[in-house]
Structure 1
Amino acid sequence: MSEAFFTDKARVRAAFERAATSYDGAAVLQREVAARMAERLDYIKVAPKVILDAGSGTGEGAAELRRRYPDARVIELDLAQAMLLASRGKQQQAAGLVSRLFGRDKPWQVCADIERLPLADASVDMIWSNLAIQWVNIPDSAFAEFRRVLKPEGMVLFSTLGPDTLQELRHAFSGLDGLTHVNRFIDMHDLGDAMLSGGLSEPVMDMEKIVLTYAAARDVMRDLKAIGAHNATAGRGRGLMGKRAWQQVEAAYETWRREGRLPATYEVVYGHAWRGQDKKSNRLPDGRQVIDFVKKG
């Protein structure tokens, strides 16, 4: 991926901070993908004691994980503090009384970047990450962090977006200027390589396309803004787009209209992998190699 398409983490954080109050009303795709991820857990026999929801948003995934694994401790981690506060508010409302949010029912939340997890080595049994890895520029680093905090035989299950995501919007902006207007996403096969590079084992990947439809191009942009999915690329424009330019984009998007609706395609990539058992080292702490000599009868 070229540097022009690298995401600006500060902009990503600010966008999600602002979107916390509008997120749930527009996060149709996120809820659907989370439901499909949860179905996959029906076929994976695990009994985790500690689960990390990496990129937890407003807590929908964490709620499902608590329901599915009632004896587990679920840690919500997100880049935006406002998202974590929104999740906490929903948990307090569901509890009925704030006093019930002490002890084991008190939510565990961490505001941090998934590329730099503030968690101890080998402290988590399972990592769940729904539509968050697409905001990472170098996924190898995120997967390496996942492996570091996973216990041996721990599992990571994630979803992210592939390169055909928002292809209609990208086409509508093409030729407008030399700037980037739509985030670019990493290919499924490259993600598989990144998992191996990050030290995870037995990666399994698959992909499907989900198409949402809208009445107008402005509705697509409005939903993206509501969930905090702004253009966060380094090569984006820094000013507002003019009326004539927007009319050009709308006209180009109209060529995709079918049966009275405009499509917005999302290429959803799913993956899971494991942290295997650590191999026994034959080196001393100072790096010297230990060689065993076996005396034969």
Structure 2
Amino acid sequence: MNVLPDKRRVAASFSRAAGSYDSVAQLQRDVGRQLLWYLPLSLQPQRWLDLGCGTGFFSRALGDWYPHAHGIAVDIAEGMLQHARQSGGAQAFIAGDAEHLPLREQSCDLVFSSLALQWCADFPAVLNEAHRLLRPGGVLAFSSLCVGTLQELRDSWQAVDGFVHVNRFRSADDYQAMCASSGLSVHKLQVHAHRLHYPDLGSLTHALKALGAHNINDGRPAGLTGRERLRALAEAYEQRRESEGLPCTYQVIYGILQKEARP
């Protein structure tokens, strides 16, 4: 399995990005809305958890979908939580790690997490926590990123210097195996490619930085990227230009898992 970035670096990166995140988060909103539509119509949670809530966009959406439920928003980045608290949507905002959540067992009917769990190195621990928190019949709904995300940028960097400049992500097969052994029933687990286009390389790298999702892997090249390397990267990426602009592909996996209801 690919080595994932240190969670302290993740928290710091996303805290710094809290103020700029929503301005460039169209993909995150599109993916999260799709995940909302995948929720079972029969689900009427008394308490939901937005895990990796970020700026709280989907905490507010969940509050609208389930107006009579109690909402909890959790994020590892305190800067994101400070931003989310200002807009409400949930009744509680808690700093927490998805692998070790500070919540009691069987306290939620829905664990919703959109484009956050790719940063968790121990995904089985996340699944165990979801199983622990969910009441019988409760649902874990998540979206995450797979191998193949930012592949155009990865390949362009590979042509320039061979270093890893792009975050690593798990394969869909890894997700499938871990979900199958989670103790939760898998109702949906499928990958969709989301493709964005940017007018130039600077627009793409600015968006990644504003999202807090620029390269935060261990083993990345130290120091600033030299001007010559950036010029070479732009030239390599330009070879991929399409009529709509420079392509950027995100491979998104959507999962709907359910805890067995009591007989």
TM value normalised by structure 2: 0.95
Runs of at least 4 residues off by over 6 Å:
none
1:44 deviates by 3.3
Q: Name the CA distance, whole Å, in 2 between partners of 1:146 and 1:174.
A: 37
Give the SS at the match of 1:66: helix
Matched residue, 2:8: 10
Matched residue, 1:38: 36
Q: Unaligned 5+ residue runs, structure 1? A: 92-104, 280-297
1:214–1:262 CA contact under 8 A, matched in 2: yes
| Amino acid in the other structure paired with 2:52 | G
Matched residue, 1:285: none
Q: Name the CA distance, whole Å, in 1 between partners of 2:244 and 2:24.
A: 21
Give the SS at the match of 1:156: strand
1:6 deviates by 2.1
Answer yes or no: is 1:25 the counterpart of 2:23. Answer: yes
Give the SS at the match of 2:242: coil
Matched residue, 1:230: 214
Matched residue, 2:258: 274
| Amino acid in the other structure paired with 2:65 | R
2:55 to 53, 58, 62: 58
2:87 to 82, 85, 90: 90
Deviations along 1:19-51, one digit per CA (max 9) or x if unpaired, are 00001101110111111112222x431110010
1:189 deviates by 2.6
1:129 deviates by 0.3
Matched residue, 2:64: 67
1:54–1:128 CA contact under 8 A, matched in 2: yes
1:77–1:111 CA contact under 8 A, matched in 2: yes
TM value normalised by structure 1: 0.84
Matched residue, 2:246: 262
1:129–1:159 CA contact under 8 A, matched in 2: yes
Matched residue, 2:153: 169
Deviations along 1:129-155, one digit per CA (max 9) or x if unpaired, are 000111112211111111111112111
1:260 deviates by 5.6
1:124–1:150 CA contact under 8 A, matched in 2: yes
Measured at CA, do residues 260 and 195 of structure 1 come closer, stay the same or move farther in structure 2, by a change above 3 Å?
A: closer
2:197–2:247 CA contact under 8 A, matched in 1: yes
| Amino acid in the other structure paired with 1:88 | R
| Amino acid in the other structure paired with 1:208 | H
Q: Unaligned 5+ residue runs, structure 2? A: none
1:88–1:107 CA contact under 8 A, matched in 2: no
1:209–1:267 CA contact under 8 A, matched in 2: yes
1:175 deviates by 4.2
